[in-house]
Amino acid sequence: MKIAVIDDYQDAFRKLDCFARLKDHAVVVFHDTEKDPAKLVARLKDADAVVLTQQRSPFPRAVIEKLPKLKLIAQTGRNTNHIDVAACTEKGIVVAAAGAGLPNPTAELTWGLILAGLRHIPFEVQQLKQGAWQTTVGTGVHGKTLGVYALGRIGSVVAQVGKAFGMKVTCWGREASQAKARAAGYEVAASREAFFQNADIVTLHIPLNKETRGIVTAADLARMKPTALIVNTSRAPLIQEGALLAALKQGRPGFAAVDVFEDEPVVGGNHPLLKMPNVICTPHLGYVVQSTYENYYGTVIDGILGFATGKPVNVLNPEVLGKK
C-alpha cells in the first residue's frame, strides 16, 4: 500500500522501532501541517492509507470526498472528533483508531510547567546566559493549594505529586470526578467559585468536547488570586475564547503556563501569549515522549497491517467492512 503520514513534526515516525514493520509498503512522510484543504488533497491523492497523529489536522468531508483512492485512515488514540467518520463510512473508508497513551508524560510536563513558572526557570536560565546572577525570587509549592480540575487519569497523577510535595490538593469536576477525589482523600471544593478563588495553582485535565468547550470562563479566571498560576496541558478551547489573555492582562490570575493553543502548530512566534512575560508556553509536548510514540504508532501500524492482510483491527466503523 501507499501510506502517507502527515504532521510528523520531528520526522519521528521513520525513526521508531515499529516503523520496520512497514518494510513492504511505500511510506511518504510530511513534516509540516497543510491547512488548505485543496493542497492537503493534492498531497494525499495517491495514498491508500493516511496516518493521523491525534488531532493535529482535521479531516472533513470536503477532503474525504476528493480522495477516491483512500481506503484507510489510521489514527493515534480514540479521539476522532476531527474526522468526519460518517463521510468515511459513506465512501467505504475504514477508520482504525485505538489505544490511549499513559497519563504520566503529560502529568510530568504539567509539573515541569508548574515548577518552571513558580521558580522562573526559563527566565533565570536566559539571565544567567546574559551574565546576570539571581534576578528573581521564586515561590515554593509546599503548603500551597493545588486545584485539579477533573481527576481523570492525568489529573490523578498530578494530584499524587502535589500531595507528595506537601500541598493541599483540592478538586473540581463532574460528580464522578468529585467522588474519586473524596475516595482518594483529597478535598472537594465547596463550590466552583471557591475552587478558583482559593487555589494557588489551577491545572486543567478535562477532555475537550461540545460540553466542555469554553467550560473555564472569564468569571472563573477573574476569581483567581493575583499570585495564582493556571496551567493548561489539555486543550486550549477549554478556556473561553480570549478569556485567558484578557485575564492575564488584568492580573487575575497573575501567571499562566500553557502547552496547547487554539490553532496549532504555532509557527513564527505568532501568538499573543508568547509575548507576555508572565506566561510560559511549550509547543504541545504533553504526550511527546519516545515510549508514547512507540505505543501510539505501533497501534497505528497494527491497523495498517491488519487491513492489508484482510484482518482489520481497531475499526471504528465496522459497517464499512460489510460493503467490501
List, for residues 204-253, the tens digit of each pLDDT value.
999 999 999 999 999 999 999 999 999 999 999 999 999 999 999 999 99
Annotated active-site residue 108? The verdict is: no
pLDDT at residue 316, as a whole number: 94
Is the pLDDT assigned to residue 189 strictly greater than 80?
yes
Is the pLDDT assigned to residue 100 strictly greater than 90?
no
**What is the mean pLDDT of the segment spanning 7-33?**
96
What percentage of residues in the chain have a pLDDT greater than 90?
96
Question: Is 199:186 a contact under the CB 8 Å cutoff?
Answer: no
CA-CA distance, 117 to 280, in Å (whole number)? 7
How is residue 220 written as a grid cell? 472563573
pLDDT at residue 118, as a whole number: 98
**What is the mean pLDDT of the segment spanning 12-41?**
96
Annotated active-site residue 264? The verdict is: yes
Is the pLDDT assigned to residue 324 strictly greater than 60?
no
Report the run of H or E that residue 115 belongs to, with start and end. helix 104-118
Report field, pTM of the whole predicted structure over 0.85: yes
Report the run of H or E that residue 51 belongs to, with start and end. strand 49-52
Helix axes 121-129, 104-118, angle to 10 degrees: 60
CA-CA distance, 100 to 80, in Å (whole number)? 13
**What is the mean pLDDT of the segment spanning 4-11?**
97
Start-to-end CA distance of the chain, whole Å, equals: 17
pLDDT at residue 101, as a whole number: 79
Options 108, 223, 264, 271, the catalytic residue = 264
Annotated active-site residue 25? The verdict is: no
Helix and strand element counts for the chain (H, E): 11, 12
The domains of the chain, with CATH numbers, are 2-101+290-323 (3.40.50.720), 104-281 (3.40.50.720)
Is the pLDDT assigned to residue 98 strictly greater than 90?
no
pLDDT at residue 289, as a whole number: 96
Residue whose C-alpha cell is 506537601: 166
Options 120, 205, 223, 284, the catalytic residue = 284
Options 120, 205, 223, 235, the catalytic residue = 235
**What is the mean pLDDT of the segment spanning 254-270?**
96
